[in-house]
């Protein structure tokens, strides 16, 4: 348990109302999921003749502001799907009709809110060289396609997708119900937080946010510059969410103590085995790398999950 950095007087926490949910998966949803997987399995084939919307062109390009080539506007052998909207407006359309071997000057204007101030709102020219025109070929949705997903036929694959989507929707519904219950519990309680406790949650949110940026290859400094804010401004924006999370944590921790809820060492080890299986690594390798602090974090997370499940069982459907 964490050190008490809050004071709390609980109100009612049993018998909270949760929304009534009926889980259904429509045939249209299954078909959309199949088409999405079909797109993932597509292959590109070189075609002769001019490029059309939907084709992929493999290009070299270099961007010029006036007579000077600007930084970050150059690439070689870049595969660009025409009509994808992945480049600035007007770029892709000017490559429609180009064939392999063509050179094309693409004239565009950067948006006014573009993150690079020296280019924002400026007209530029991209000198492009087209190396290839490619067309996407989709596999047929047949039993051979189903075998890619370890299903003997399409009927089985459709049923597998239905079950998977049903499970996902049920998990989402449970998460929404738990949040609705927790919101009521916090609203019924009187909770005072220390500044240090709230700041710890702000730092957690900030760390998670920066990790997500890193996963997208976006430096924090670039994001802050684009938004026109400082690191302190960003943390201030996170303050309300951090306070809500801190109050929820205080309420759950207190309820767990009152109800005598706990997590055993066997349950922790079982969860570590589950994680090891998910990461495809031996249990022993994962377990030996867990410091006492990390193990305590796992224990606390499992206890919060168990407490939320307790509140769900003690709630009533609207």
CATH number at residue 111: 3.10.50.40
Tell me if 87 sits within 8 A of 112, measured CB to CB. no
Tell whether 13 and 50 lie within a shared domain: no
Tell whether 132 and 209 lie within a shared domain: no
Report pLDDT digits (tens) over 130-178. Answer: 999 999 999 999 999 999 999 999 999 999 999 999 999 999 999 999 9
Which of the listed residues 113, 137, 161 is the one where a domain comes to its end?
Answer: 137
Confidence of residue 3 (pLDDT cuts 50, 70, 90): low
State both tokens at 274. Answer: 């589950």
Tell whether 48 and 18 lie within a shared domain: no
Q: What percent of the chain has pLDDT over 70?
A: 99
Residue 275 has pLDDT above 60, yes or no: yes
Assess if residue 307 is contained within a domain.
yes
**Residue 156: CATH number of its domain:** 1.10.3120.10
Tell whether 240 and 312 lie within a shared domain: yes
Assess if residue 31 is contained within a domain.
no
Assess if residue 295 is contained within a domain.
yes
Domain of 52 in residue numbering reads as 44-137
Tell whether 63 and 183 lie within a shared domain: no
Which of the listed residues 80, 110, 137 is the one where a domain comes to its end?
Answer: 137
Tell whether 126 and 204 lie within a shared domain: no
| 173-178 CB contacts, 8 Å cutoff, 24+ apart | 173/21, 173/23, 174/312, 176/19, 176/21, 177/18, 177/19, 177/21, 177/312, 177/315, 178/308, 178/311, 178/312
**CA-CA-CA-CA torsion for 197, 199, 204, 209, nearest 10 degrees?**
150
DSSP conformational letter for 139: P
Question: How many helices and strands in the chain, by DSSP H and E?
Answer: 9, 9
Where does residue 59 fall: left (phi above 0), alpha (psi -120 to 50 degrees), or beta otherwise? Answer: beta
Assess if residue 34 is contained within a domain.
no
Tell whether 125 and 247 lie within a shared domain: no
Tell whether 73 and 169 lie within a shared domain: no
Tell whether 287 and 162 lie within a shared domain: yes
Assess if residue 143 is contained within a domain.
no
Report pLDDT digits (tens) over 79-127. Answer: 999 999 999 999 999 999 999 999 999 999 999 988 788 899 999 999 9
Tell me if 16 sits within 8 A of 183, measured CB to CB. no
Which of the listed residues 137, 160, 187 is the one where a domain comes to its end?
Answer: 137
Tell whether 169 and 265 lie within a shared domain: yes
Tell whether 227 and 184 lie within a shared domain: yes
Tell whether 131 and 168 lie within a shared domain: no
């Amino acid at each position: 348990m964490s050190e008490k950095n809050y004071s709390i007087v609980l109100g009612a926490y049993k018998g909270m109302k949760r929304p009534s949910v009926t889980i259904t998966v429509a045939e249209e949803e299954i078909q959309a999921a199949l088409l999405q997987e079909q797109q993932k399995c597509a292959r590109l084939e070189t075609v002769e003749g001019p490029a059309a919307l939907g084709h992929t062109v493999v290009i070299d390009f270099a961007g010029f502001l006036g007579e000077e080539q600007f930084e970050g506007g150059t690439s070689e052998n870049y595969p660009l799907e025409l009509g994808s909207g992945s480049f600035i407006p007007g770029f892709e359309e000017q490559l429609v009709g180009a064939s392999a071997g063509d050179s094309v000057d693409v004239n565009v204007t950067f948006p006014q809110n573009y993150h690079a101030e020296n280019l924002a709102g400026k007209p530029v020219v991209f000198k492009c060289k087209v190396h290839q025109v490619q067309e996407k070929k989709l596999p047929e949705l047949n039993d051979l396609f189903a075998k890619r997903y370890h299903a003997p036929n399409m009927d089985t694959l459709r049923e597998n997708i239905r079950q998977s989507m049903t499970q996902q929707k049920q998990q989402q519904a449970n998460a929404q119900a738990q949040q609705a219950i927790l919101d009521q519990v916090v609203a019924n309680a009187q909770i005072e937080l220390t500044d240090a406790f709230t700041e710890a949650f702000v730092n957690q949110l900030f760390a998670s946010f920066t990790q997500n940026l890193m996963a997208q290859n976006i430096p924090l400094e670039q994001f802050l510059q684009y938004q026109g804010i400082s690191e302190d401004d960003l943390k201030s924006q996170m303050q309300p969410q951090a306070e809500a999370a801190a109050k929820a944590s205080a309420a759950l921790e207190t309820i767990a103590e009152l109800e005598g809820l706990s997590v055993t060492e066997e349950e922790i080890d079982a969860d570590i085995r589950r994680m090891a299986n998910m990461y495809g690594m031996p249990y022993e390798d994962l377990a030996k790398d867990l410091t006492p602090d990390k193990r305590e974090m796992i224990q606390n997370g499992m206890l919060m999950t168990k407490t939320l499940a307790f509140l769900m069982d003690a709630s009533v459907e609207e």
